[in-house]
């Protein structure tokens, strides 16, 4: 099969210089801009992307008085004394009602009003929720319960008056179980910050109508949580968690009386943390798209708090959103949902569109990202995304995965090659016992040696030794009437253990209907080791694809849900390797695991190296 077509892979081998490591221009068709809704107006001019400049995220220069207020508040001087030292403290109240542009999950909100709590796709009776900290709740429920993320869903499900009873009862139950700031999951900087922000943004659904009875305790809880964050926010090493804490504090400084000093202090802390949290090309350092989405949501709601009180938000917030959104869209697949990377699940089209619309950023997906690490190729209806960077550093890891050189591929709305994803949602519909497996190399569409992870997977989302360097090149190829985009990357994750470097070459034709690949094992030293080692190349298939091996065992027939027909085929020099079809799973954006299939190519290869070409092509 492969011999009957022009071999762009051979052209690449002949023309590409081993020393050339410069990314070349991408020659694919431009993608549509992402907007809040379809419009008939001409496209607006888009500013070219630029690297993050840390100077943009330093505390604003607002004069010596503000600097003095910021320092005094940091040292513990009460905000009331700094704001109005000659008058009595202002009575507790909210200075405005926030109109958040972020919409919640209406289905989850309706379920809440019916007495059912949803987290990670799992339904649990509301009456049996354990609000204590610590409790026996799994991580998805801990985040939803103690972060009060359910408030956005409830607010989107009905008018305030219809939500107030449910919201007030849940707030009262949580406060009864957590009357004072303390320890446990409820009192991490991240969850305390998210909780405070949600309380401030969605206060009306607690305080409307009969909810007025909760007002004194609600306002007292707001101030107590803000004071706790004042003292503890800088103790958190995780930058996204710290950004959550600063965001809650900043919202409190804007919306509570005598908050000027807190606002100045939190504003400076948030801007500094943003500069440390995001790579030069706009990706969060955890390299997790779901964390990227969380960061965007934080900034959108903080900006809404500024609008509520009639203050102008720092320009750095819009600058950061303009960096974050294109990087997030860079892992968007043909069905317009997110790919499954670094533990995240495949966020759906509607949720992603709503988030981007709320950000106000009008942009195209980022195609080439060095530090963020996801390389994207768009060819007509096809989208290819390759993980071409090491896993995050341990200090930045959240649900880190050994996914280096894995890829995802879609054609039109059909995901064809995927990663399993969903480790961040383990403990709900995704069983907690498989969390580490979902983060392993075998759960991703890449090559595995001796059933070992390319980077060690540790407990609590952490990683150990493994991939430290990734070499990458990108270029366009042409031969006669055929042309395509070539990605080549190599990692050293197996060098220390097996003396081999894994190199992967992917070439997507400009028609988008032919993906050629080659996985190469090369000795990491001057002289390869003797003997053989087992390998497996795994290609996890998208939902609904029917897969059947060919009679010769060298390929797999793939029938798509839309009745189109593709074929996976091994190259002529792949040795004794054969194809098989095995069970797999894929986790959707709501945390629901789906039974799927995977193509597995496995065998033995010499420790001196080997080459394994393959082809994925649409046949009809």
Segment 75-128, tens digit of pLDDT: 776 766 667 765 777 888 999 999 999 999 999 999 999 999 999 989 999 999
- Strands annotated E in 432-554: 447-449, 470-479, 482-491, 500-509, 514-523, 532-541, 546-549
Domain spans of the chain, in order of start:
101-241, 374-619
**Residue 367 confidence class, pLDDT cut points 50, 70, 90:** very high
pLDDT at 440 (0 to 100): 98
- Interhelix angle for 189-201 vs 139-146, to 10°? 40
- Strands annotated E in 122-237: 122-125
pLDDT at 476 (0 to 100): 94
Six-digit token string for 470: 């990734």
Contact 592, 567 (CB under 8 A): no
pLDDT over threshold 70, residue 336: yes
Q: What is the mean pLDDT of residues 467-494?
A: 94
Six-digit token string for 500: 């081999």
pLDDT at 89 (0 to 100): 77
- Interhelix angle for 315-329 vs 289-308, to 10°? 150
Segment 20-74, tens digit of pLDDT: 322 222 233 445 454 433 333 333 333 434 445 444 566 565 666 677 766 777 7
The rounded percent of the chain whose pLDDT value lies above 90 is 78
Rounded Cα–Cα distance for residues 597 and 492 (Å): 29
Rounded Cα–Cα distance for residues 273 and 545 (Å): 43
Rounded Cα–Cα distance for residues 232 and 242 (Å): 10
pLDDT at 310 (0 to 100): 96
pLDDT at 392 (0 to 100): 95
Rounded Cα–Cα distance for residues 263 and 74 (Å): 11
Rounded Cα–Cα distance for residues 197 and 195 (Å): 5
CB neighbour list of residue 194: distance below 8 Å, 6 or more residues apart:
143, 147, 148, 149, 244, 248
Q: What is the mean pLDDT of residues 133-162?
A: 95
Six-digit token string for 22: 């410069």
Q: What is the mean pLDDT of residues 300-327?
A: 96
CATH class entry, domain 374-619: mainly beta
pLDDT over threshold 80, residue 352: yes
Rounded Cα–Cα distance for residues 66 and 83 (Å): 11
Q: What is the mean pLDDT of residues 444-467?
A: 96
Q: DSSP of 285-354, one letter per residue? A: TT--HHHHHHHHHHHHHHHHHHHHTTPPPPHHHHHHHHHHHHHHHTTB-TTSSBP--TT--B--HHHHHH
pLDDT at 13 (0 to 100): 44
pLDDT over threshold 50, residue 14: no
- Strands annotated E in 196-263: none
3-state secondary structure of 253: helix
Q: What is the mean pLDDT of residues 348-364?
A: 95
Segment 246-304, tens digit of pLDDT: 999 999 999 999 999 999 999 999 999 999 999 989 999 999 999 999 999 999 999 99
pLDDT at 18 (0 to 100): 35
Q: Residue 344: name the closest of 426, 278, 409 by CA.
A: 426
Residue 180: C-alpha distances to residues 189, 194, 297, 454, 474 (Å): 15, 17, 28, 45, 55
Contact 233, 187 (CB under 8 A): no
Mean pLDDT estimate for the chain = 88
pLDDT at 272 (0 to 100): 93
pLDDT at 25 (0 to 100): 29
pTM for this one?
A: 0.89
């Amino acid at each position: 099969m492969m011999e009957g077509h022009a071999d762009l892979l051979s052209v690449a081998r002949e023309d590409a210089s081993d020393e050339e490591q410069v990314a070349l221009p991408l020659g694919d068709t431009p993608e549509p801009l992402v907007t809040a809704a379809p419009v008939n107006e001409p496209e607006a001019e888009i500013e070219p992307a630029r690297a993050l400049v840390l100077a943009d995220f330093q505390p604003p220069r607002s004069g010596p008085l503000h600097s003095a207020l910021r320092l005094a508040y940091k040292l513990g001087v009460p905000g009331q004394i700094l704001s109005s030292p000659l008058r009595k403290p202002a009575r507790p109240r909210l200075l405005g009602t926030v109109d958040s542009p972020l919409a919640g999950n209406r289905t989850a909100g309706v379920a809440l009003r019916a007495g059912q709590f949803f987290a990670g796709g799992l339904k649990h009776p509301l009456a049996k929720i354990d609000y204590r900290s610590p409790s026996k709740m799994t991580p998805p429920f801990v985040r939803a319960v103690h972060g009060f993320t359910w408030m956005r869903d409830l607010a989107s499900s009905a008018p305030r008056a219809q939500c107030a009873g449910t919201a007030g009862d849940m707030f009262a139950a949580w406060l009864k179980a957590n009357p004072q700031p303390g320890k446990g999951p409820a009192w991490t900087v991240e969850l305390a910050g998210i909780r405070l922000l949600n309380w401030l943004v969605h206060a009306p659904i607690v305080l409307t109508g009969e909810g007025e009875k909760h007002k004194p305790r609600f306002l007292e809880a707001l101030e107590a949580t803000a004071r706790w964050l004042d003292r503890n926010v800088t103790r958190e090493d995780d930058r996204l968690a710290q950004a959550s804490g600063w965001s809650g504090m900043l919202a409190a400084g804007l919306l509570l009386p005598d908050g000027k000093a807190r606002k100045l202090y939190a504003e400076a802390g948030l801007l500094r943390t943003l500069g440390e949290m995001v790579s030069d090309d706009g990706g969060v350092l955890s390299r997790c798209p779901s964390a990227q989405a969380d960061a965007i949501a934080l900034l959108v709601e903080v900006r809404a708090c500024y609008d509520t009180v009639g203050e102008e938000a720092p320009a750095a917030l819009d600058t950061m959103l303009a960096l974050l959104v294109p990087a997030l869209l860079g892992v968007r697949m043909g069905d317009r949902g997110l790919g499954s990377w670094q533990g995240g699940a495949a966020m759906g089209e509607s949720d992603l569109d709503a988030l981007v619309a709320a950000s106000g950023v009008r942009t195209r997906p980022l195609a080439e990202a060095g530090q963020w690490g996801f390389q994207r190729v768009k060819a007509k209806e096809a989208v290819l995304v390759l993980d071409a960077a090491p896993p995050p550093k341990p200090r930045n890891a959240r649900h880190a995965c050994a996914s280096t050189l894995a890829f995802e591929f879609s054609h039109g709305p059909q995901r064809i090659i995927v990663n399993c994803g969903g480790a961040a949602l383990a403990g709900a519909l995704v069983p907690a016992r498989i969390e580490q497996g979902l983060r392993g190399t075998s759960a991703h569409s890449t090559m595995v040696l001796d059933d070992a992870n390319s980077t060690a997977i540790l407990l609590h989302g952490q990683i150990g030794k493994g991939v430290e360097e990734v070499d990458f090149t990108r270029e366009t190829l042409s031969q006669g009437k055929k042309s395509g985009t070539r990605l080549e990357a190599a990692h050293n994750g197996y060098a220390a253990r097996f003396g081999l470097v894994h190199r992967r070459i992917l070439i997507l034709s400009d028609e988008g209907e032919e993906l050629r690949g080659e996985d190469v094992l090369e000795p990491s030293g001057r002289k390869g080791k003797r003997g053989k080692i087992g390998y497996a190349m795994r290609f996890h298939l998208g939902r609904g694809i029917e897969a059947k091996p060919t009679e010769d065992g060298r390929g797999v027939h793939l029938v798509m849900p839309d009745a189109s027909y593709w074929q996976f085929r091994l190259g002529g020099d792949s040795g004794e390797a054969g194809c098989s079809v095995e069970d797999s799973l894929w986790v959707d954006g709501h945390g629901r695991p789906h039974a799927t299939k995977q193509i597995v190519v496995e065998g033995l290869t010499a420790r001196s190296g080997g080459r394994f070409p393959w082809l994925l092509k649409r046949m009809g």
